[in-house]
């Protein structure tokens, strides 16, 4: 064969083979991109866009049953592609109770179930601390510490995440003005009424709101170094109507004085000039600050003079405003009367605006921004950012709290009942539980509650 013809034929084969490879690569990449975007080819060869379910549980390794089907490989923590629409999810594990929920999977989106918790059916329990003199208790955000108050000036700090609770005495005699202390005495009586207690994110400080006679007293207790605690009311010789911890370690606070918002530098004992006047509601996330004043919603950053008026956000004289983050997006939530409106921070675009059947007097944003919890008395409404649904339900009593970041408990006639944040998976865990003190879970294995003057610990997971 002519060498020139042979060379041309060889070149043609190379071009054809490389073209086929390029087409194959493009096809594979396209198919993978479609799969990642949620598209799937059904058995009848039609293309459908699906979603994905990601399931976690405590403890891990629970069996996952979806729409009545399960297999030995279907366990938490795992992900599964599902068609859009409703699906039933049931979690079971030998020796534990079960958990279930009907979810709505949306096309091309991930639905996370990260909060399911299963409890041992047979639980060991024992009294671990004599708390007969306790009058108040507060649990840290990481649920590893509990501070127990009494009518004296010697309070107790317990380490809950250890077999040995390691009790430590906190001397509050020189911290609060609401103390009856004889001259020269080393201890005395605590005469104030604790209205509220809020820990910082580092679980190292507790901000107390105290009724002291006819006035309010605000005190920031340093748990690790009590002598470094600050009585804010006494330090600044002023009456604050509200104080919030701004950063993780309580170095900065936000406070309302005479209706005006100020920043407090705790370390330098300095209070700023007025940040905003006539503030009716405010909230913060990182350095972002939102507030309602003069009938307007405003967004700014702490330390900045730039104010952004959020003209598209509707407020009234009783509106409450909040800022939170869910996944990578920040949201502004406004509760006005019986209506909740959620907006994307960067665009002010309305994500949802819905009414509930009551006017809430308490609002809480979930720790990861995944829900908005609203309450009035025993009436509860939760807006689920994952499903964009509102769930309304009713507690058994007014004695309620947060068992962990996603579970609520209440106590009625000594019965401890727990719920998911949306009111589902109601379970009774214990009896003869005190209504006056908090209940918590530590290290995902111990349940703590107060009963008959003792702190009780139950093993809930192995």
For the segment 380-436, what is each residue's pLDDT rounded down to a tens digit? 999 999 889 999 999 999 999 999 999 999 999 999 999 999 999 999 999 999 999
Closest listed residue to residue 253, CA positions, set 238, 264, 267 = 264
Query: Residue 291: beta bridge partners?
Result: 282, 298
Please give the pLDDT value at position 182. 58
Residue 273 CA to its chain's centroid (Å): 31
Please give the pLDDT value at position 51. 92
CB 207 within 8 A of CB 216: no
Please give the pLDDT value at position 302. 87
pTM for the whole structure: 0.87
Q: How far apart are CA 439 and CA 456, in angstroms?
A: 10
CB 280 within 8 A of CB 317: yes
Give Dmax (Cα) for the chain.
118
The residue behind tokens 């005469």 is: 191
Ranges of residues in the chain whose predicted pLDDT is under 70: 1-19, 22-49, 181-187
């Amino acid at each position: 064969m002519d060498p020139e013809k042979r060379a041309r034929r060889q070149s043609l084969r190379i071009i054809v083979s490389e073209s086929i490879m390029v087409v194959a690569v493009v096809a594979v990449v396209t198919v993978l991109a479609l799969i990642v975007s949620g598209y799937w080819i059904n058995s009848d060869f039609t293309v459908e866009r699906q979603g994905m379910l990601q399931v976690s549980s405590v403890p891990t390794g629970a069996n996952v049953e979806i729409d009545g089907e399960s297999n030995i490989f279907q366990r938490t923590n795992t992900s599964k592609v599902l068609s859009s629409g409703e699906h039933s999810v049931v979690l079971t594990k030998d020796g534990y109770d079960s958990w279930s929920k009907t979810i709505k999977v949306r096309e091309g989106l991930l639905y996370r179930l990260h909060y399911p918790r299963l409890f041992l059916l047979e639980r060991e329990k024992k009294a671990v601390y004599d708390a007969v003199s306790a009058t108040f208790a507060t649990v840290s955000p990481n649920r590893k510490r509990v501070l127990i108050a009494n009518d004296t000036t010697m309070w107790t700090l317990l380490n809950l995440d250890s077999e040995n609770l390691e009790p430590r005495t906190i001397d509050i005699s020189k911290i609060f003005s609401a103390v009856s202390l004889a001259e020269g005495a080393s201890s005395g009586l605590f005469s104030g009424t604790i209205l509220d207690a809020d820990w910082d994110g580092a679980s190292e400080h507790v901000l107390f709101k105290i009724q002291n006679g006819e006035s309010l007293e605000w005190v920031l207790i340093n748990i690790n170094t009590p002598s470094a605690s600050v009585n804010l009311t006494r330090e600044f010789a002023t009456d604050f109507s509200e104080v919030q911890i701004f950063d993780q370690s309580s170095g900065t606070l936000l406070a309302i004085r005479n209706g005006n918002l100020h920043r407090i530098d705790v370390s330098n004992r300095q209070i700023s000039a007025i940040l905003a006047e006539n503030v009716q509601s405010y909230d913060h996330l990182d350095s972002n600050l939102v507030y309602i004043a003069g009938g307007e919603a405003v967004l700014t950053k702490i330390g900045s003079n730039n104010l952004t008026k959020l003209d598209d956000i509707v407020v009234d004289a009783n509106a409450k405003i909040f800022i939170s983050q869910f996944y990578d997006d920040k949201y502004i939530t406004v509760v006005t009367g019986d209506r909740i409106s959620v907006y994307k921070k960067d665009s002010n675009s309305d994500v949802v605006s819905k009414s509930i059947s009551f006017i809430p007097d308490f609002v809480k944003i979930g720790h990861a921004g995944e829900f908005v919890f609203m309450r009035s008395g025993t009436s509860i409404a939760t807006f689920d950012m994952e499903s964009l649904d509102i769930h309304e339900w009713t507690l058994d009593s007014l004695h309620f709290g947060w068992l962990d970041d996603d579970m609520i408990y209440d106590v009625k006639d000594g019965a401890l009942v727990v719920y998911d944040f949306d009111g589902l998976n109601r379970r009774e865990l214990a009896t003869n539980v005190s209504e006056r003190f908090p209940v918590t879970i530590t290290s995902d294995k111990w349940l703590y509650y107060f009963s008959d003057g003792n702190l009780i610990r139950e093993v809930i997971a192995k």
